[in-house]
Structure 1
């Protein structure tokens, strides 16, 4: 129950338990990524995408461990924006928040366009904007309602993915020798595949950014993050292996809808339309959780006046950052109406990897009393983030680095203006 003191302080209510936090994480990770990321990963690495998946999972595990320890120490909205500010200084917190807000806003647009593409390909942009408006309205009326909707979406998507795996492995066309794990993949190709697949793992950040709305965060967050990540890894590995077994790396690389193509090739064409619906539902779940996470980081940055302070308002009835949610929803709707999904994914991956590099650096500074992870965890996490970020396609690296530099310049100009 919300107290008068917390209401007057403009704080959010702690509604979410372990199950709700895990479901929100799953809703972010088991989304459009599994339906869309396999093909570009196969183009980069062939069947080596399985190695890329393993590498992305290792980096994600390190990031998750660092984030969980920091979130237990600082159970506030904002995630790595807060951790970087508290452990490394104001600039690094700002840079992490900037990378997250910009990168994930692009990711929101990508998810919205994925919904539009699967629901009504000829009018993808219009459907995408409608989806953004509808889900922003859901987020506006309270995080509990968002968690319940996400729970239903996750259940549907998990059931669908289980059906896809079963169809692929029992349809008579699977060849266990096809996913040879290495194939002719190059080292650079595996790294690029890992960077692209990391996009689909990054949803556990949503659990940390909702830290101010989680009950008993010191216990809940460290349990919820690795649980969500572990479930996602098992699901992704099973789906990737099954699809590779049916299509092979070359055919997988050429298809725009790999799971639908796989069930057709497996001799179950009647399941393909269901997969299309499932992809739209999964992208909707990702979009819902993404809007939640971006708006909470926007709230934290607005509280510190890195963004307009008006965005720090909390709704007196629904106890959500309503102005931040409306602002994020508006920007995402504009992007969904005007941009392309492909560039948004690579751009988002660069920003998110930069965000987690700051998280790992922050975790390095924790003391044993503060719950510091083993030293190897933040080292591997930070190094992996930087390597995968610069292994992405060149256009994504150039645009991502340019936006991060622009954010740093804006920070310096603001600091100079406040000193005069």
Structure 2
């Protein structure tokens, strides 16, 4: 039995919402002030443009390899597709680590008074549990994801309604917005919060009639998530001051529910956040499994990554889980989010160019692709400049990830040449 359109869409929604409003509100608030709702709006527009490119590619080249397949089709087995594929792999690991950290913080805030030690224990536990679920390949996993997303959306709808009742317009006044550079830079984070839509591209091999089903699932997931992000941002920043949101960055959504719903609201939102972030971890590991198989099969990654391990399914999954555990437990949330945002923009810039090159085969119109490339490049440039001014160490990490992708590509080619 294949995956349904609803199942694929909910996979994307679970990945996006779990990695978006539950995780990045504090980071976005530090960058854009109370104008975060505009960041999510513009980030959503950028995601729709990129979603159009990915949907057209997915309809023409359905595969469990998702965007890896599109890069190979667009650029062949050269340096560009290889480096971009490594970056895509790194981005998946970064997102998974970031969301796992958020799960740990929410769980610790609810059950262990915010203990840092327990936050790390819960972070580790959700990564291991999600990996086990994906390796087992349980038939009921799609139904469970769907149930989680339905519950999450219902509770978030209640949250929006109650916060809008108590909203203070003065907290959203333009006077509290930061500079234009800060605003544009925050769009990078907002786009990163929408990155989960790419998970839908990995369902192509499991959907019935993917030429029609995959674009519908893609647009459905974005059409639900983007308005939800905007409404939640308005509710949170219309209820709490910007410093309050920043101070409670990892659990801001739960704190925002407390004035209207009391302790019960805090508990409810925390539990939903844990559901949402765990669903996102699961969805991102699902995508990582598909991409590692495709990359190993195309010789872009070493063959060992696609081979079977004695314990834990493919070696690539085991390696990925180990890397995610290291990032989640050793790197701060701000650095993870910033590096992930930059890497995501680079990947989609390259993917949009691939979509433009393949437009005659996919039937895509040129103008959304061109606009997508231009806007993505503009946001990336501004974000990199802003990061250089405010967090040079993070910029070094961004460059380091790109350099690592280049080194991995060159290393693979050297090994392959010495062992033809």
TM-score, normalised relative to structure 2: 0.88
Match of 1:295 in 2: 289
Question: Are residues 266 and 398 of structure 1, via their aligned partners in 2, closer, same or farther at CA, if it must alter by over 3 Å?
Answer: same
Summarize the Cα distance change of 1:336–1:228 in structure 2 as closer, same or farther, 3 Å threshold: same
My pick for the range that moved more, 154-163 or 288-297, is: 154-163
Asked if the contact 2:359–2:366 (Cα under 8 Å) also holds between the matched residues in 1, the reply is: no
2:87 to 99, 102, 109: 99
Aligned twin of 2:377? 386
Task: Give the equivalent residue in structure 2 for 1:176.
Answer: 169
Task: Give the secondary structure class of the aligned counterpart of 2:200.
Answer: helix
Q: How does 1:286-365 map to 2 (within 5 A)?
A: 286-313=280-307, 322-365=314-357
Q: Which residue of 1 aligns with 2:111?
A: none
Residue 282 in structure 1 maps to residue 282 in structure 2: no
For structure 1, the residue ranges without an aligned partner over 5 or more in a row are: 2-14
> SS at the partner of 2:408?
helix
Aligned equivalent of 1:415, options 413, 416, 420: 413
Using the TM superposition, give the Cα deviation of residue 20 of structure 1 relative to its aligned residue in structure 2, in angstroms.
0.8
Q: CA RMSD in A?
A: 2.3
2:27 is aligned, of 15, 33, 40, to: 40
Residue 53 of structure 1 deviates from its aligned partner by 1.4
* 1:3-18 aligned within 5 A: 15-18=2-5
Tell me if the contact between 1:311 and 1:321 (Cα under 8 Å) persists in the aligned partners.
no
Deviation of 1:141 after TM superposition, in Å, equals 1.9
**Distance in 2 between residues matched to 1:367 and 1:192, nearest whole Å:** 30
Q: Distance in 1 between matches of 2:336 and 2:171?
A: 31
Task: Tell me the equivalent position of 2:17.
Answer: 30
Deviation at 1:72, TM superposition (A): 1.1
Structure 2 residue corresponding to 1:136, chosen from 131, 134, 144: 131
Moved more, 320-329 or 264-273: 320-329
Residues 63-102 of structure 1 correspond to what in structure 2 (within 5 A)?
A: 63-90=50-77, 91-102=79-90
Which residue is 1:5 aligned to? none
Q: Is the 8 A contact 2:37 2:231 kept in 1?
A: no
Shift of 1:377: 1.4
Q: Does 1:210 align with 2:203?
A: yes
Counterpart in the other structure of 1:115: 103
Equivalent pair of 2:103/2:122 in contact (CA under 8 Å):
yes
- The answer (yes or no) to whether the contact 1:110–1:345 under 8 Å persists in 2 is yes
1:144 Cα deviation from its structure 2 partner: 4.1
SS state at 2:21 partner:
helix
Classify 1:30/1:182 alpha carbon distance in 2 versus 1 (closer, same or farther; 3 Å): farther
Gaps of 5+ in 2: 109-113
1:240-259 matches, cutoff 5 A: 240-256=233-249, 257-259=251-253
Question: Aligned to 2:239, what secondary structure does the other structure show?
Answer: helix
Residues 220 and 267 (structure 1 numbering): CA distance in 2 closer, same or farther, change over 3 Å?
closer
Q: Does 178-187 or 23-32 show the bigger shift?
A: 178-187
Q: Give, in angstroms, the shift of residue 333 of structure 1.
A: 2.6
After superposing the two structures, state which structure 1 stretch, 283-292 or 48-57, moved more: 48-57
1:262 aligns with 2:256: yes
Determine if contact 1:312/1:321 at 8 Å carries over to the other structure: no
Larger CA deviation: 148-157 vs 63-72: 148-157
Work out whether residues 46 and 253 of structure 1, in 8 Å CA contact, stay in contact via their aligned partners in 2. Answer: no
Report SS of the residue matched to 2:169. Answer: coil
Aligned length: 400
1:7 matched residue in structure 2? none
Task: Indicate the SS of the match to 1:284.
Answer: helix
Q: Could you tell me how far 1:346 is from its partner in structure 2?
A: 1.5
Q: TM-score, normalised by structure 1?
A: 0.88
User: Residues of 2 paired with 1:212 and 1:331: CA distance?
Assistant: 27
- Alpha-carbon offset, residue 224 of structure 1: 0.7
Match of 1:49 among 18, 36, 60: 36
